[in-house]
Structure 1
Amino acid sequence: MRQTNEEKINRLEELKETYDRFKEKPFQLNLKRGVPGKDQLALSEPMLNILTPEDLYQETEADFRNYGVLTGIPEAKQFFSEVLEITADEVIVGGNSSLQLMYTVLASKMFLGQSDKNSAWAKEKVVKFLCPSPGYDRHFNATEKLGFELIPIEMTSTGPDMDQVEILVANDASIKGIWCIPTYSNPTGVTYSNEVVDRLAKMKTLAQDFVIMWDNAYVVHHLKEKKEHVQNVLETSKSYGTEKRVWMFCSTSKITFPGAGVAALGACKENIDWVTEVLSDQTIGFDKVNQKRHVKFLKDKKHLLQHMEKHAELLKPKFDSISNLFGNYFGEESTMLEWTEPNGGYFVHLTTMDGCADRIVELLADIGVSLTEANASYPYGVNPRNNSIRLAPTSISVEEIEAAVKAICLCVEMVSLEKELDSNK
């Protein structure tokens, strides 16, 4: 039933009174970043004391306490080859940060070139990168700082809008790559369809050195019984002869300890050989002790998935609470808010009425509910519709989530009513 202007004004006054009470005694709730909760971190504490001296050195193998083994210990390469569904010789195991590996690939192609120095992207007048949006702000920030012009690409329910992507890459040689989070995308929770993966692998690109930055950060981060799986982009690209464009990444950051995890890069052998040479000038070897610790604890993909079920038991009630609270407050027919109900990953994405997102986030900050900046999931933080908000609920309790969502509902309704009343003037 539609409200009259008078009813909207009265309702708005009620909401403002509630908001003012919150302002007098603000919350202390932080839903800014996708951080594991303390109960999740506790799941991996047994790993800290799992190694014996015999695990670190044997007469016939490298001493894992010492220099060397640049591309990762064999056990870790085998473990990540199972996760990424590629061969062990297509894997490099690094330190705790997959972002660092991504940056290494892009910065090296920008300033060193892969085939020779003349192929360095920095020698070109303009270089551009495709950014499916909403997407991951750290991806966008990295490419912006490296000097790329960022081009937003609309995200659909099956992945990036491939009609838009194919037209752009086929006609512009300055477009050098695309960011992809293929499984439970940050922040929408979308998993790429087989058709999208196939089109990414076979599409014609005017830039012969085009790259797909395939950040499979949430490859095993299932929340529900339905476990979504993305088609293997490296194997798919091999069937089209485009395997050099694919760079795959993952890490244990949200599996064990974000600050003390292990990251991996996957690519065809030619790419692996090149980036190994690049890394040899940066390090003599990553933390092999930590690599061994992780492999002994997680063992293989089967045990990894069992470990992730324990994470899901802790996280699912939080995501269920968010969906139920929004559903009860706004209902299915609301024009004020849409929210995602992901099967995995770490985020819930909110779509507000156009022109409302930044105001909602500002009002929430004033009552002690901290969210990522509105529209941060778009290149340069610019979203013409100003309707995107990301929630990262993993690090706080269900009770705190309930308080935060009630505050969010309040602010969404306030700003939406103000918008509607203003448009009726």
Structure 2
Amino acid sequence: MTTELSPDALPELLERARKDYAALAARGLSLDLTRGKPAPAQLDLAEDLLSLPDGRHTAADGTDVRNYGGLQGLPELREIFADALQVPVTQLVALGNSSLELMHDCLVHALLGRVPGAESRWVDQERIAFLCPVPGYDRHFALCERFGIEMIPVPMTPDGPDMDEVERLAAGDAAVKGIWCVPKYSNPDGACYSDETVARLAAMSAAAPDFRIFWDNAYAVHHLTDEPVETADLLAACAASGNPDRVFVFGSSSKVTFAGSGVAFFGASPDNVRWLLANNAKRSIGPDKVNQLRHALFLRDAAGLRAHMARQRELLRPKFDAVQRILAAELGGTGLAEWTDPKGGYFVTLRVPDGCAKEVVRRASEAGIVLTPAGATHPYGDDPRDATIRIAPTFPVQDDLEQAMLGLTTCVRLVGYEKLSAS
């Protein structure tokens, strides 16, 4: 990111940015771009869920969904999501509404029990560490902090994490037990893992025999274009490479239907599935199968899932287009920012000059525009460059989003030109 301005131009640009910011602050806005939540219009697309299962209480195999049991979840719902998550139906588990909860539970089970291939419980080992591609998902990092798991940042590239660094760290340190991955339309960059990255993750050497890839495929069906990105099948690649137990696949319908009452999925090797179900049997007598039947009846099949997500895309594409249009119009050619243009997912990453992200977020907040805290995209909330800002365009209505983006670009110009003036 370079800024080429003549010394004579900078004072005028800074003065205009100050005037624009004063006008922005005077408007008394109250806008929120913090979290990647579905908008009410997206939730409305699944409103028919509330009238299902319409008196029906029997699954396709005759199971009475009102009763206990069925730890693995309804087969007909698993069939709908199996292709999208790249997991065979027999190795896919459908559970409650939160994939984050599933990730939490897998960590707890690994800490207090033994994952297949483990020599001991993780809690009994002196040090446990996870590789954390950055920028990444703050809730992954929060889970590590919650359980005292050391986080080792690894740079992200457009093709996934820096695999030279991942391979070096995984092979050289037996305390490294896992890596967080959002393989498609990653949070927050929108990066998609290349076939080479998937192959290297599957085949690489790991000093820990119980090394696990936490494959959070949260945006597997959340395309923003008519040409969906397809990632290679990591579960199959791990099996082919002689590491069948290496990956835990996570997904959910939370951003497909209702965020607060969707269905979460876990996919893995047969041994890993048995491990999870055995642990779950001690904490639950079965998931909410009524909600699972509701989803199966609403979505119907894999084609129905794709059609539903096409309707979602019609709502989201104009918002992401507006973000790109405003960033280009207001910051293009200034040298003050770079940003991603994702083909799917829920976020856009804005990169500002080093040392400016926190100040941009602070100025925006003072003007009534709330953003995700600077640093949230990095372990321990520490972005060493203080340059990354995550934009979440999905929830606001179009007009509010555009106002917020115009305000944000005003803050970037103000802080950027102030920094240049002081240098």
TM-score, normalised to structure 1, is 0.96
Moved more, 228-237 or 19-28: 19-28
Matched position secondary structure for 2:245: helix
Letter in 2 for 1:262: V
CA distance in 2, matches of 1:207, 1:59: 42
Instruction: Name the count of aligned residue pairs.
Output: 421
Q: Which residue number corresponds to residue 373 of structure 2? A: 373
Q: Please report the RMSD computed on the Cα atoms of aligned residues, expressed in angstroms.
A: 1.6
Matched position secondary structure for 1:56: coil
- Tell me how far 1:10 sits from its aligned partner: 2.9
Q: For residues 78-110 of structure 1, what are the alpha-carbon distances to aligned partners after superposition, in whole Å with 9 as ceiling and x for unaligned?
A: 223232222221011110000111111111101
Contact preservation (8 Å) 1:82, 1:300 = no
Q: Which residue number corresponds to residue 283 of structure 1? A: 284
CA distance in 2, matches of 1:79, 1:4: 59
Q: Percent identity?
A: 41
Q: Which residue number corresponds to residue 173 of structure 2? A: 172
Unaligned runs of 5+ in 1: none
Contact preservation (8 Å) 2:342, 2:348 = yes
Q: Which residue number corresponds to residue 13 of structure 1? A: 15
CA distance in 2, matches of 1:370, 1:220: 28
CA distance in 1, matches of 2:116, 2:269: 15
Q: Which residue number corresponds to residue 34 of structure 1? A: 36
Letter in 1 for 2:105: T
CA distance in 2, matches of 1:267, 1:117: 16
Q: For residues 337-383 of structure 1, what are the alpha-carbon distances to aligned partners after superposition, in whole Å with 9 as ceiling and x for unaligned?
A: 00111110000000111110000000000011111001211111111
Q: For residues 397-419 of structure 1, what are the alpha-carbon distances to aligned partners after superposition, in whole Å with 9 as ceiling and x for unaligned?
A: 22112111111111101111111
Matched position secondary structure for 1:5: coil
CA distance in 2, matches of 1:34, 1:418: 30
CA distance in 2, matches of 1:341, 1:115: 40
Matched position secondary structure for 1:249: strand
Question: Where do 1:269-308 residues align within 5 Å?
Answer: 269-308=270-309
Question: Where do 1:246-257 residues align within 5 Å?
Answer: 246-257=247-258
Matched position secondary structure for 1:212: strand
Matched position secondary structure for 2:284: coil
Contact preservation (8 Å) 2:117, 2:209 = no
Q: Which residue number corresponds to residue 348 of structure 1? A: 348
Unaligned runs of 5+ in 2: none
Matched position secondary structure for 1:322: helix
1:384 aligns with 2:405: no
Moved more, 227-236 or 105-114: 105-114
Q: For residues 37-81 of structure 1, what are the alpha-carbon distances to aligned partners after superposition, in whole Å with 9 as ceiling and x for unaligned?
A: 11101000012113133x313797221011111110221222232
Misfit runs of 4+, over 4 Å:
115-118
Q: Which residue number corresponds to residue 237 of structure 1? A: 238
Inter-CA distance 59–258: structure 2 relative to 1 (3 Å threshold)? closer
Q: Which residue number corresponds to residue 405 of structure 2? A: 405
Matched position secondary structure for 2:260: helix
Q: Which residue number corresponds to residue 322 of structure 1? A: 323
Matched position secondary structure for 2:32: strand
Q: Which residue number corresponds to residue 68 of structure 2? A: 67
Q: Which residue number corresponds to residue 207 of structure 1? A: 208
Contact preservation (8 Å) 2:118, 2:210 = no
Matched position secondary structure for 1:408: helix
CA distance in 1, matches of 2:59, 2:260: 28
1:336 aligns with 2:350: no
- Tell me how far 1:394 sits from its aligned partner: 0.4
Inter-CA distance 205–374: structure 2 relative to 1 (3 Å threshold)? same
